[in-house]
Amino acid sequence: MKGICVLGATGSIGVSTLDVVARHPDLYKVVALTANSNIDVLYAQCLQHRPEYAVVVDESKSAVFKDKLKNTVIAGIKVLSGKQALEQVATLDAVDSVMAAIVGAAGLLPSLAAAKAGKTVLLANKEALVMSGDIFMQAVSESGAQLLPIDSEHNAIFQCMPTNYKAGVSEKQVRRILLTASGGPFRQMPIELMAQVTPEQAVAHPNWDMGKKISVDSATMMNKGLEMIEACLLFAMEPDQIQVVIHPQSVIHSMVDYVDGTVLAQLGNPDMRIPIAHALAWPERFESGAKPLNIFAVGRMDFEEPNLERFPCLRLAYKAIAVGGIMPTVLNAANEIAVESFLGGQIRFTDIPVVIETCMDKFDATSADTLDIILAVDQQARVASQKIIAGLR
């Protein structure tokens, strides 16, 4: 019986994780669940999964949550609040596996704490890895933590790697990775109309049902840019070994091209419970609840090269990793601020890459040797992006 802590339990990945966990009560016990502020969903999850701990990061909501629990069957759950509580529950002795499913930079410290504590880290929170890069991978290798990718593409790549492959290790038999992308909702929209795209249109992904931030990232293809950086780190590869492939059907979740010419692909329905179940059961397999793939209903599969003029965010991600050092941290922070402003109606869809590139230009390529440097650069890039946005309006 393994103990699991789900960071970001109330989000799209968190909910899918608990759906899979509930199918295997003999294998997993929920030790801790965390939410930022969605106490209604957290309450229902606590009733169903009976964790020992529940974290409500937003201190103004945690008092309400504690009140809600009083005189109920789940009054015994320990309720913690504040950011530090995330690190506390991610490193509990009773926790074997940590699902890192907080969105954005807010997930870095707890995910890193889990890695340093040698937990099995199921990593969905790609922003944490992109912003901290080598520091994160070093923490994993020093502690001996097992890092299992949840992002569907990286999970697919991991599944296509040789047996016993460990994340972060360079695999000489692999020539390249073909990182698939759906191309998002605007793959075929005339480029000149993209400035008018609304947040509602941008979050409506054709194949996947996800949180708002990653949905906008998919529409700009910054998601694929972050994933390209994530792939370089997880599989110890150079950016030019990662080929982004637009595959609108989202059935192949990525491919690994070996030196002998063999290309291995992982296929399945676009359902995040598949990579989640893979990582939870690893190195075994168990039921995920996903429907079996109907290959006849898929019928055909298409592949295209991405157009960097349509998707400048992808170009910016390649630029950030080429510069290296702090630049991926800057890219990620500027993107988080730009996406938030777009969702808030302050900037246009096409302003997102403008904000990011302007912000990147303000930073010199310095090395990102310590966590303190990364956290400071993250803050500076957020402030710089806010100023750029204020200038655009």
Burial class for 184, CB neighbours closer than 10 Å (0-12, 13-18, 19+): buried
Q: What is the CA radius of gyration of the chain?
A: 20
Residue 255 contact, options Mg ion, ligand NAD, none, Cβ 5-8 Å cut-off depending on partner type: none
Rule CB under 6 A: say whether 38 interacts with ligand NAD: yes
Q: Is 151 in the site for Mg ion (CB under 5 A)?
A: yes
Question: Which residue lies nearer to ligand NAD by CB, 239 or 270?
Answer: 270
Residue 164 assigned to a binding site = no
Within 96-125, the residues that bind ligand NAD by CB under 6 A are: 101-103, 106, 124-125
61 known ligand binder? no
- 3-class secondary-structure state, position 134: helix
Of 43-51, 147-155, 186-194, 318-326, which segment contacts Mg ion by CB under 5 A?
A: 147-155
Count how many Cα atoms sit within 13 Å of the Cα of residue 76 in the half-sphere of its side chain. 5
Q: Looking at 5, 32, 233, 272, which residue binds ligand NAD (CB under 6 A)?
A: 272
Q: Measured from the CB atom, is 10 or 358 closer to ligand NAD?
A: 10
Residue from the set 3, 4, 5, 13 that interacts with ligand NAD by CB under 6 A? 13
Burial class (CB in 10 A: 0-12, 13-18, 19+), 264: middle
Give the Cα separation of 118 and 233 in Å (integer). 18
- Is 59 known to sit in a ligand binding site? no
Q: Is position 126 annotated in a ligand binding site?
A: yes
Sheet holding 97-100, edge to edge: 78-81, 53-56, 28-35, 2-7, 97-100, 120-123, 146-149
Chain residue whose CB lies nearest ligand NAD: 11
Say whether 29 counts as a known binding-site residue: no
Question: First-to-last CA distance in the chain?
Answer: 54
Instruction: Sort residue 325 into left (φ over 0), alpha (ψ -120 to 50) or beta.
Output: left
Q: Which residues bind Mg ion (CB under 5 A)?
A: 151-153
Q: Which residues bind ligand NAD (CB under 6 A)?
A: 8-14, 35-36, 38, 57, 101-103, 106, 124-127, 151, 208, 210-211, 213-214, 272
What residues are designated binding site for Mn(2+)? 151, 153, 227
